[in-house]
Amino acid sequence: MFKITVTPRFGDIDGLRHVNNTVLAVWFEKGRNPIFRMFTPDLDLSYEKWKLILVRTEFDFLAQMYYGSDVEIRSYITHIGNSSFTIGHEAWQDGELKARGKAVLVHYDFIEQRKKPIPPEIRKQLEEHLVEED
C-alpha cells in the first residue's frame, strides 16, 4: 500500500468549506505516482516511454471532507489481469474514511496503439501491493 498526505488548498474548497468533489481525482492520481514509476521510472511522458493508459475511474463519496485538516490518500492494487490492473484508492481525514475509488489502467504501447501484457518483473512489483477487497 502506498500512502501520501495532501493538504487541502483554499482553491480546493467550495462555498460550504467542503473539499470539492473534482479535487479527489487529482489527489488519487497523485497517489498513483509510485505505481506509474514501476512502468516508467522517470515519469517521461513521451510516446516512446509512457506505458499506461487510464480506461476507467470511479468514486464513492462517503463523508464530507473539510478545509483545515490533512487528507491521507492510500493506494493499492486490487486486481491484476494480463494487460490491465485495478488500483484501489481511499481518502482518510481525521481518522475517518471519507471517500474511496478505483482506477483501471492498461499497459499500452502508444506507438503501436495496442495493449501489451504486463511484464513479469512489473507484475511481481504490483503483486507486492495486492490487497483483497472487502
CATH of the domain at 72: 3.10.129.10
Percent of the chain residues past pLDDT 90, beyond the cut: 83
Cα–Cα distance measured from residue 131 to residue 134, given in angstroms and rounded to the nearest whole number: 9
User: Is residue 58 domain-resident?
Assistant: yes
Q: For residue 48, tell me if it sits in a domain.
A: yes
21 lies in some domain: yes
111 in a structural domain: yes
Residues whose CB is less than 8 angstroms from the CB of residue 37 and which lie 6 or more positions away in sequence, other chains included: 43
Mean of pLDDT values over 47-70: 94
Residue 80 resides in a domain: yes
Nearest C-alpha neighbor of 126 from the set 70, 69, 84: 84
Between strands 52-61 and 84-93, the pairing is: unpaired
Structural domains of the chain, count: 1
Q: What are phi and psi of 80, to 5 degrees?
A: -130, 120
Per-residue pLDDT averaged across 66-70, rounded?
Answer: 92
Q: Record the pTM.
A: 0.91
For residue 134, tell me if it sits in a domain.
no
Residue 26's domain comprises 1-126
In a domain, 131, yes or no: no
Q: What is the pLDDT of residues 6-44, one digit of tens each?
A: 999 988 888 888 898 899 999 999 999 999 999 999 998
Distances (CA, A) of 94 to 8, 17, 32, 97, 98: 13, 16, 22, 9, 9
